[in-house]
A and B are shown apart, each in its own frame.
Chain A
Amino acid sequence: KQEVTQIPAALSVPEGENLVLNCSFTDSAIYNLQWFRQDPGKGLTSLLLIQSSQREQTSGRLNASLDKSSGRSTLYIAASQPGDSATYLCAVRLTDSWGKLQFGAGTQVVVTP
């Protein structure tokens, strides 16, 4: 069974520092990996989608890397801002015929001014 782990569970950094969030998965048979952001009491906002054949994906200050063979993805957020404070979730899309998502538990990020 696919297991998705996110470490650390919580992270606090001063404004301006770069954020590094980790996601690991046990089975490399995935279609893609998706990073989401969730603000308190809100829904999930998709940040980046990285296909299994890709090594990285970028959007503005965000960069996600994927190493499928080692079962790891990293989300980098450059020059963090207080508005980046949120919970970040990663999810892998399974290669079964149903295309289900398996989520990690998330990393709660606080960026202090």
Chain B
Amino acid sequence: NAGVTQTPKFQVLKTGQSMTLQCAQDMNHEYMSWYRQDPGMGLRLIHYSVGAGITDQGEVPNGYNVSRSTTEDFPLRLLSAAPSQTSVYFCASSPMQFYGYTFGSGTRLTVV
């Protein structure tokens, strides 16, 4: 039981490049979310999903896309990276609304 797995752990991108942050969970959780964490800003919700094929925008969705084709995977796509997207990204999952969330170990992204 690996929990929530995020890859890569570290990434450096040039402005304008695209990439996908991977998130996978093996707990059969329906709820999955992406957060970014910045100094002084706390954790902010980017996108979330309540099951395969169902996603919606969070507080800071601009510049990011998501899709959920399976229960296990919830990738986050940066279409054209900008320095403002330099941050630590966390993926989280939860089985149902009365349960807690489990977080991945994060991806530290730097856009130069």
Instruction: Give the B-binding residues of A (Cβ under 8 A).
Output: 31-32, 34, 36, 42-46, 49, 51, 89, 91, 93, 95, 97-101, 103-106
| Stretch binding the partner chain, chosen from B13-21, B43-51, B72-80 | B43-51
Tell me which residues across on chain B come within 8 A of A36, comparing CB atoms: 103
Measured between alpha carbons, how far is A91 from B92 in the docked complex, in Å? 13
**A98 engages B101 (CB within 8 Å):** no
CB within 8 Å for A46 and B48 given contacts A101-B92, A104-B42, A105-B42: no
Interface positions, chain B 80-112, Cβ under 8 Å from A, are 90, 92, 94, 96-106
**B42 engages A98 (CB within 8 Å):** no
Tell me which residues across on chain B come within 8 A of A51, comparing CB atoms: 98
Measured between alpha carbons, how far is A105 from B31 in the docked complex, in Å? 23
Majority secondary structure of chain A interface residues (helix, strand, loop or mixed): strand
Measured between alpha carbons, how far is A106 from B33 in the docked complex, in Å? 19
Closest to B98 in A: A31
Least CB distance from B58 to A in Å reads 7
**A100 engages B58 (CB within 8 Å):** yes
Tell me which residues across on chain B come within 8 A of A89, comparing CB atoms: 43
Which of B90, B97, B104: most chain A Cβ within 10 A? B97
Closest to B56 in A: A98
Measured between alpha carbons, how far is A98 from B50 in the docked complex, in Å? 6
Can you give 7 contacting A-B residue pairs, CB < 8 Å? A31-B98, A43-B104, A49-B99, A89-B43, A93-B97, A99-B97, A104-B42
User: Which of A32, A42, A91, A99 lies in contact with B105, CB distance below 8 A?
Assistant: A42
Measured between alpha carbons, how far is A93 from B98 in the docked complex, in Å? 9
Least CB distance from A51 to B in Å reads 7
Which of A31, A51, A101: most chain B Cβ within 10 A? A101
Tell me which residues across on chain B come within 8 A of A42, comparing CB atoms: 105-106
Closest to B45 in A: A100
Interface positions, chain B 33-61, Cβ under 8 Å from A, are 33, 42-43, 45, 48, 50, 56, 58
**A101 engages B98 (CB within 8 Å):** no
User: Which of A32, A95, A104 lies in contact with B100, CB distance below 8 A?
Assistant: A32
Tell me which residues across on chain A come within 8 A of B43, comparing CB atoms: 89, 91, 103
